[in-house]
Amino acid sequence: MAYPKIDFLYLNEEDMVKAGVKDMASCVETMEEMFKLLKIGNYRMGGANGNSHGCMVMFPEKSKFPEMPVDGPDRRFMAMPAYLGGKFDMAGMKWYGSNTENKQKGLPRSILTLILNDKDTGAPKAFMSANILSAYRTGAVPGVGFKYFAKDDAKVIGIVGPGVMSKTALAAAMAVRPSIQTVKVKGRGKASLNRFVQYVKDTYPNVDVYPVETIEEAVKDADIVSVSTSTPTTGDTSIYPYIAEEWIKPGAVIESTAALRFDDDFVIHRARTVTDNIKLYEAWEEEMKPDAYKTVPIPAVHVMDLIAEGKMSLDQVDDLGDVILGNIPVHRKEGEVIIYSVGGMPIEDIAWGTMVYRNALKKGIGQTLNLWDVPQMI
């Protein structure tokens, strides 16, 4: 780019698909590389600690201003800025608005975009549709965990919550464990459940898929369990989906991107807690203490609460990055049950967004837009 002129690449959703955003195997590889950079510290995210998930805009339950939105299910705006080094060497930010009522308008609950910026000047390099990108990176992060922790011959996966994120988590599981033969799925709504079952039949015709009535049925005999539900955070953690220890197959991996609850005795004494980034959970605990779990319902957040209460210690939590780099063993004991928490980080969006952007440049995909030829204010 010849400064001061600034052009950037615009990629709509169709462009993103053409540029390979749905290549799950490549996305899993990209997330694995991201985890390596994360562990050695070659990244920055928001907040004074450099590990914040992002900045959330929430609305009051009531407002005296008629135009101001009020609180509702999944009603928020979120800015998620980051820099990721290594082969990515890119800054950027994912920005989205979320509202469950969008579905009544034929829209997804969240509408997401991603901007990539030059790390030195801040000039925009790309502005892209990010719904598919975000869904795929969200599925690929569990996929890295499945790659390392799931049995090599894993055959059964249990899905709790038949939404978009579960589709991509399943895609990642199939990419790293093609031995999977059976998919069990638990959902609340019949329509979404039927759509998910049909999706699996269409996408993986050699896999048996069937709905189940309870979480227990989804978990029993499963080598991999993936939980991604939309559960309100009212402060009452008893409403979070619950998994009992006796339902879990020895050696199973249970992955959660959302609300999930276990008995404390199991978490403290027998389960193995693995996080995508322990510093993210420390940041949540710092920002939302006490009882961060009431606001961020991911299992590892509850573990941080237990640590704060003196019931667990930090050395009982393992980071996936340490496993990937060989700093700690993949398995600590035979038949261990792994609870793998996925909190979501903007560096994941930067990583996959950068790869798709570069692929688009190589293939001549997208539309070049001009910010200015010469800035009028300098």
* pLDDT, tens digit (0-9, with 9 covering 90-100), for 295-328: 899 999 999 999 999 999 999 999 999 999 999 9
pLDDT per position as a tens digit, 185-212: 999 888 889 999 999 999 999 999 999 9
The Cα 37–Cα 244 span in angstroms is: 35
The pLDDT score that the predictor gives to residue 321 is 96
Contact criterion met (CB below 8 Å) for 144 and 32: yes
- Provide the whole-model pTM: 0.93
Section 276-288 average pLDDT: 88
DSSP one-letter code for 311: S
The Cα 174–Cα 139 span in angstroms is: 11
- CATH 3.30.1780.10 intervals, the chain: 6-133+347-369
pLDDT per position as a tens digit, 221-277: 999 999 998 787 778 899 999 999 999 999 999 999 999 999 999 999 999 999 999
The pLDDT score that the predictor gives to residue 290 is 78
Contact criterion met (CB below 8 Å) for 11 and 357: yes
Question: Burial of 314 by CB count in 10 Å (0-12 exposed, 13-18 middle, 19+ buried)?
Answer: exposed
The pLDDT score that the predictor gives to residue 1 is 66
Q: Which CATH architecture has domain 6-133+347-369?
A: 2-Layer Sandwich (3.30)
- CATH 3.40.50.720 intervals, the chain: 140-345
Domain covering 140-345 assigned CATH 3.90.1300.10 in the classification: no
